[in-house]
Structure 1
Amino acid sequence: MRSIDLRSDTVTQPSKEMRAAMAAAEVGDDVLERDPTMVRLEGWVAELLGMEAALWVPSGCMGNLIALMLHLKRGDRFLAPAQAHVLGSELGTAAWLAGGMPEALAWEGGPGRPTPAQVTKAAGTPGPYYTLHTTLLCLENTHNFAGGTVTPREEHRALVAAAKAAKLAVHLDGARIWHAAAALGLPPSALTEGADTVQVCLSKGLGAPMGSLVCGSKPAVAEARRLRKMLGGGVRQGGVVAAAGLVALDYLPRIVEDHAKTRRLAEGMRAFGIAAPVPETNILLVPVPNAAAALAALEAVGVRALPVGSAVRFIPHRDVEMADIEEALRRIEPLAYLLRTA
């Protein structure tokens, strides 16, 4: 039985076009005179996001860490939405290596979203020398563990304005900013306004085998390059992987197809009596009575997913066709009793 892998949009395989581009890439020593293909990729992504400059890094975790290291001094507090990737999925590096004290903000503005009032209250006002300094707001768009939810443009602007009024820097974890922009019908740059730094991913949804970028001002990116080296991320002939990233960006107009696949998956599950929400992007979180039992049953019929708390997460992607979604639904229907919450 052929497996239908919906665990993540990171399971995609490099396309033939990517492999060909990687084989033919013009390369140079990026630590010395720079790699020409890497320079092209960084310039294109910076332009897409409306930022001055960008730096390629091997992973989104490293990109977020570098941004936090840029903004935080040891002991500084930073704010982030509850269950943000920087809080629970990066193994504590925000505290261990960036030296930050995290503060989670409840989702009072909607799934995955705090309100500007929360930011203002949590930031507080400067106190005596023995009080915590809050210096940074981290946002996440889309918010993975809220179910791929989108922060609309006006809400993003309001959150940034509240942060700036409180003299906080703003870092945006935009690993899937492409998906938020596609859902809203906006260019990605419309969702980065006011952010001091942005991290975006090429392997989540776009199909590159690896790579993220940290974007910001030219001085910030110059310092980010130094921090990347300190973390062991000096790159030599990086054009080989940058070439895959350039091809991956060609998929941006097709992200809406992955959203449509996810909506169809949710619609089909609801027809079986499963409490699948209407997804905003390409992430579907389905609450189930017993996640371990549901995942085992799904695995047995060749539908792969992952647990997120008491829910099962499905992420359709570019390597899954709509016909695969229909086949997944055909396999899920006999198991619907395991996925129903009532």
Structure 2
Amino acid sequence: MATNVVVDLRSDTITKPTEAMRAAMAAADVDDDVRDGDPTARRFQAEMAALMGKEAALFVPSGTMANLVSVLVHCDVRGSEVILGDDSHIHLYENGGISTIGGVHPTTVRSNPDGTMDIDKIVAAIRRPDVIYYPTTRLICLENTHVNSGGKCLSVEYTDKVGEIAKSHGLKLHIDGARIFNASVALGVPVGRLVKAADSVSVCLSKGLGAPVGSVIVGSKAFIDKAKILRKTLGGGMRQVGVLCAAAHVAVRDSVEKLADDHRRAKALAEGLNKMEQFTVDSTSVETNMVFFDIVDSRISSYKLCQILEKHNVHVNPRSPKSVRLVLHYHISDSDVQYALTCFEKVVEELLTGGAKIEHLADGTSKNSYGY
């Protein structure tokens, strides 16, 4: 199956900027954003704040920094506590930064298969403020879409309920909205309404939206004023950042409408995989741009499967010895989905007939996207 086609389903972080983004970068009006501010950055931040229904916004280099800054602003006293899901991105994939840098204590609540945490368990995790040997609960974090549940969407009703609980207990609510636009499109809810209950939201610009670099944090003006100081402290203050914000502006303007196609293709990919007896995937659970599937044939491991697929220019990541994650993005066409399915069928045949040459993997694994 020699071909020049490359279908990269490892993550939507691998998207490349479009020609329109590159042109906007070249033409960007820039200045020193650490000093008096960059005009393109200021315009983009104002646009994002308005779009998300918040007072202000701040561009930062990465989603990890966006979440770290947000948590540290809300938990500005060392020994503060945050309540978050046990398989949330902040808890698992961000180097424990809230603890190592911010002195923030995480209390985890078990995440449900749909990415939610049970409301009663969130309430039970909130510490009594009058007990001196407890850390002080100050923040609740949600994640939308929820990566480890396969890109599930948190509904506006659920988010509002968690927001009510936070407010009634004097806490803040932060949403890790790395893929919040995917949730907005899938649910048919304006993004500003979806995050109305949140005190802060982080939005990744370099995943499905396709900007080359960056995330944005939104919240109140007072929150963003503090976030800007922390961004500088963490080394995230950049000079002519309008070059990046120009591309991000085009990404938001042009790419949101493409997300529905990513979701449709993810569903088609899931349905195609489910027709193969060696795999199982609940296609009805595919809500956005991710497909998680399990291998039910004892003769096939995810590592071998991914290694041989790579020889056919289909790049995917194992999640475990018997499960695989696929992520759709705007570089993947309908024909790419069909090509990938053909390759899956071919590779399964190779593995089961002994025709596949398996190269030794020193650590028993292959490259992993680690939740991104």
Stretch deviating more after TM superposition (291-300 or 312-321): 291-300
State the partner residue of 1:251. Answer: 255
State the partner residue of 1:152. Answer: 155
Q: Where does structure 2 lack aligned partners over 5 or more consecutive residues?
A: 353-372
Determine the C-alpha separation between the residues in 1 that align with 2:351 and 2:39.
50
Aligned-partner residue type, residue 315 of structure 1: V
Determine the C-alpha separation between the residues in 1 that align with 2:168 and 2:120.
11
1:242 to partner: Cα distance: 0.5
Q: Is 2:287 the counterpart of 1:280?
A: yes
Determine the C-alpha separation between the residues in 1 that align with 2:197 and 2:140.
12
- Structure 1 339/68 Cα, relative in aligned 2: closer, same or farther at 3 Å? farther
State the partner residue of 1:81. Answer: 85
1:74 to partner: Cα distance: 1.3
Q: Is 2:319 the counterpart of 1:308?
A: yes
Determine the C-alpha separation between the residues in 2 that align with 1:213 and 1:147.
23
1:99 to partner: Cα distance: 1.2
Confirm or deny: 8 A CA contact 1:288 1:339 kept in the other structure: no
Confirm or deny: 8 A CA contact 1:124 1:166 kept in the other structure: no
1:48-59 superposed matches below 5 A: 48-59=51-62
Determine the C-alpha separation between the residues in 1 that align with 2:304 and 2:171.
44
- Structure 1 337/198 Cα, relative in aligned 2: closer, same or farther at 3 Å? farther
Determine the C-alpha separation between the residues in 2 that align with 1:30 and 1:320.
35
1:293 to partner: Cα distance: 1.9
Stretch deviating more after TM superposition (287-296 or 323-332): 287-296
1:308 to partner: Cα distance: 2.4
Determine the C-alpha separation between the residues in 1 that align with 2:14 and 2:317.
12
State the partner residue of 2:125. Answer: 122
State the partner residue of 1:180. Answer: 183
Q: Is 2:299 the counterpart of 1:292?
A: no
Confirm or deny: 8 A CA contact 2:305 2:348 kept in the other structure: no
The structure 1 segments of at least 4 consecutive aligned residues displaced by more than 6 Å after TM superposition are: 337-340
1:61-210 superposed matches below 5 A: 61-72=64-75, 73-108=77-112, 110-210=113-213
1:218 to partner: Cα distance: 0.3
Stretch deviating more after TM superposition (300-309 or 21-30): 300-309
Determine the C-alpha separation between the residues in 2 that align with 1:281 and 1:46.
24
Determine the C-alpha separation between the residues in 1 that align with 2:305 and 2:70.
38
1:339 to partner: Cα distance: 10
Deviation per residue, 1:114-157 (Å, 9 max, x gap): 02211111114223222221111010000011100110110111
Choose the corresponding residue for 2:337, options 304, 325, 334: 325
Deviation per residue, 1:279-324 (Å, 9 max, x gap): 1100111123622122212222221111224521100101111111
Tell me, what secondary structure is at the counterpart of 2:280?
Answer: coil
Confirm or deny: 8 A CA contact 2:85 2:142 kept in the other structure: yes
Tell me, what secondary structure is at the counterpart of 1:264?
Answer: helix
TM-score of the two chains, using structure 2 as the length reference: 0.88
Determine the C-alpha separation between the residues in 1 that align with 2:282 and 2:78.
41
- Structure 1 337/121 Cα, relative in aligned 2: closer, same or farther at 3 Å? farther
- Structure 1 104/339 Cα, relative in aligned 2: closer, same or farther at 3 Å? farther
Determine the C-alpha separation between the residues in 1 that align with 2:131 and 2:210.
49
Q: Where does structure 1 lack aligned partners over 5 or more consecutive residues?
A: none
Deviation per residue, 1:47-96 (Å, 9 max, x gap): 11111100000000000000011011212221111211100100110111
Confirm or deny: 8 A CA contact 1:28 1:36 kept in the other structure: yes
Determine the C-alpha separation between the residues in 2 that align with 1:137 and 1:229.
25
Determine the C-alpha separation between the residues in 1 that align with 2:272 and 2:38.
47
Determine the C-alpha separation between the residues in 1 that align with 2:349 and 2:152.
27
- Structure 1 275/220 Cα, relative in aligned 2: closer, same or farther at 3 Å? same
1:16-27 superposed matches below 5 A: 16-27=19-30
Determine the C-alpha separation between the residues in 1 that align with 2:172 and 2:152.
23
Aligned length: 339
Determine the C-alpha separation between the residues in 1 that align with 2:224 and 2:351.
46
Stretch deviating more after TM superposition (280-289 or 223-232): 280-289
TM-score of the two chains, using structure 1 as the length reference: 0.95
Determine the C-alpha separation between the residues in 2 that align with 1:336 and 1:157.
45
Aligned-partner residue type, residue 77 of structure 1: E
Determine the C-alpha separation between the residues in 2 that align with 1:261 and 1:338.
26
Determine the C-alpha separation between the residues in 2 that align with 1:293 and 1:98.
40
Aligned-partner residue type, residue 259 of structure 1: H
